[in-house]
């Protein structure tokens, strides 16, 4: 048994030794970084395209699978996969947007939702047919194997990397959209596409690339997840419901909202796992219900 974790218990908080509590908080933060990364992509797509992208979970799953394929068929390492997979899956997203989603912009949200939901089912079905349901193995890259003893817990290096990568990606996305000229074009194009078009900016291309970017974010999360979660066709379907709740709590379309809520809800879920594990699957939905009752536009959303 790992004596290092037993340490000296100086005080207990609600019956839980503080070491255990810190450990759980850190784990919550790690899960939160997946929520943040996925809900960020959803928020970008919804905020700028007004499409509720139900295929997001399937695209996350594709990210993990493409990483596996690159490794097993072509011999491409994890590090290259981090770069290549978002590109490959992002291009797939662009094709989907051009061929199908772009035809629905003038219709109600519901149509986009139904289309992307259908796409998700088809993609999952195809992968299930080809690779079965149990999943595929994907090892943690050797550079990130092992872990650090933080005194209160053993932190695998890979989990530390996930928090770091997720924070960097989330903050740069927020920066690009909120603080740069490109982001200003994007936001303007969604407010008033005709006017922005009149300034000589190719609005449809901007929209297409935005969708591709949102999909690429999902794929990146998929690559990050491949070494620690089971790589199987349903991995996205399991996660996407929670991520939607995160987006709703943060406020549909709010970039910063989705990042903060993603990390925050990861923490809340982590705490629930210590105090009442049976409730950890529903706690996020309970919070969602409460937030919707008190602040229907979400914590960071602007009332329509």
Partner 1 sequence: MKISNLVLTALAATLMAGTAMADTAVKLGVLNDRSGIYADLAGEGSVIAAQMAVEDFKAAEKGITVEIISADHQNKPDVASTIARQWYDQEGVDVILDVPTSSAALAVNDVTREKNKVFINSGAASSDLTGSKCSPNTVHWTYDTWALANGTGSAMVQTGGKKWFFLTADYAFGHALERDTTAVVEAAGGEVVGSVRHPFPGTDFSSFLLQAQSSGAEVIGLANAGGDTINSIKQAAEFGITQGGQALAGLLVFLTDVHALGLQTAQGLVLTESFYWDLNDQTREWSKRFAEKGDGDMPTMVQAGVYAGVLHYLKAVEATGGKDPTAIMAKMKEMPTDDPLFGKGSVRVDGRKIHDMYLFKVKAPDQSKGAWDYYELVSTIPADKAFRPLADGGCELAK
Residues lying near partner 1 in the complex (CB under 8 A)? 1-2, 5-6, 17, 19-20, 23-24, 27-28, 30-31, 128, 132-137, 139-140, 146-147, 153-154, 156, 158-159, 227-230, 232, 234-235, 238-239, 270, 273-274, 277-278, 280-282
Shortest Å distance, C-beta 21 to partner 1: 11
Residue with tokens 């309970």: 286
The CA distance from 137 to 227, in Å, is: 8
Select 24 or 261, whichever has its Cβ closest to partner 1: 24
Select 228 or 299, whichever has its Cβ closest to partner 1: 228
Shortest Å distance, C-beta 155 to partner 1: 9
Select 102 or 157, whichever has its Cβ closest to partner 1: 157
Shortest Å distance, C-beta 238 to partner 1: 6
**In terms of DSSP H, where are the helices of the chain?**
3-6, 18-49, 56-69, 78-99, 109-131, 157-179, 181-191, 193-198, 203-225, 235-250, 255-275, 283-294
Which residue, 87, 265, 49, is CA-closest to 177? Answer: 49
Shortest Å distance, C-beta 287 to partner 1: 16
The CA distance from 2 to 10, in Å, is: 18
Select 140 or 167, whichever has its Cβ closest to partner 1: 140
Shortest Å distance, C-beta 217 to partner 1: 19
For residue 278, the tally of other CB atoms under 10 A from its CB is 8
Q: Tell me the β-bridge partners of 111.
A: none
- The interaxial angle of helices 203-225 and 78-99, nearest 10 deg, is 140
Which residue, 243, 170, 216, 204, is CA-closest to 48? Answer: 204
Q: Tell me the β-bridge partners of 16.
A: 13
Shortest Å distance, C-beta 208 to partner 1: 31
């Amino acid at each position: 048994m790992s004596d290092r974790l037993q340490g000296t218990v100086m005080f207990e908080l609600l019956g839980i030794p503080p070491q255990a509590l810190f450990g759980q908080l850190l784990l919550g933060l790690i899960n939160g970084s997946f929520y943040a990364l996925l809900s960020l992509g959803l928020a970008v797509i919804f905020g700028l395209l007004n499409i509720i992208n139900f295929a997001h979970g399937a695209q996350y799953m594709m990210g993990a699978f493409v990483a596996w394929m690159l490794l097993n068929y072509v011999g491409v390492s994890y590090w290259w996969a981090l770069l290549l997979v978002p590109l490959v899956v992002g291009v797939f997203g662009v094709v989907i947007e051009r061929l199908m989603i772009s035809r629905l912009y003038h219709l109600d949200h519901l149509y986009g939702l139904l289309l992307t939901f259908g796409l998700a089912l088809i993609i999952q079905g195809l992968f299930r047919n080809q690779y079965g349901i149990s999943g595929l193995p994907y090892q943690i890259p050797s550079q990130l194997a092992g872990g650090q003893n933080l005194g209160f817990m053993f932190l695998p290096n890979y989990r530390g990397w996930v928090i770091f990568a997720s924070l960097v990606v989330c903050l740069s996305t927020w920066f690009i959209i909120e603080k740069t000229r490109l982001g200003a074009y994007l936001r303007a194009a969604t407010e008033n596409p005709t006017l922005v078009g009149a300034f000589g900016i190719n609005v449809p291309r901007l929209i297409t690339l935005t969708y591709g970017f949102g999909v690429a974010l999902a794929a990146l999360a998929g690559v990050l997840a491949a070494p620690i979660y089971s790589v199987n066709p349903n991995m996205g379907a399991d996660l996407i419901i929670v991520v939607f709740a995160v987006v709703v709590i943060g406020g549909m379309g709010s970039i910063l909202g989705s990042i903060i809520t993603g990390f925050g809800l990861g923490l809340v879920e982590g705490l629930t796992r210590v105090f009442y594990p049976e409730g950890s699957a529903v706690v996020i939905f309970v919070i969602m219900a409460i937030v919707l009752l008190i602040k229907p536009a979400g914590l960071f959303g602007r009332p329509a």
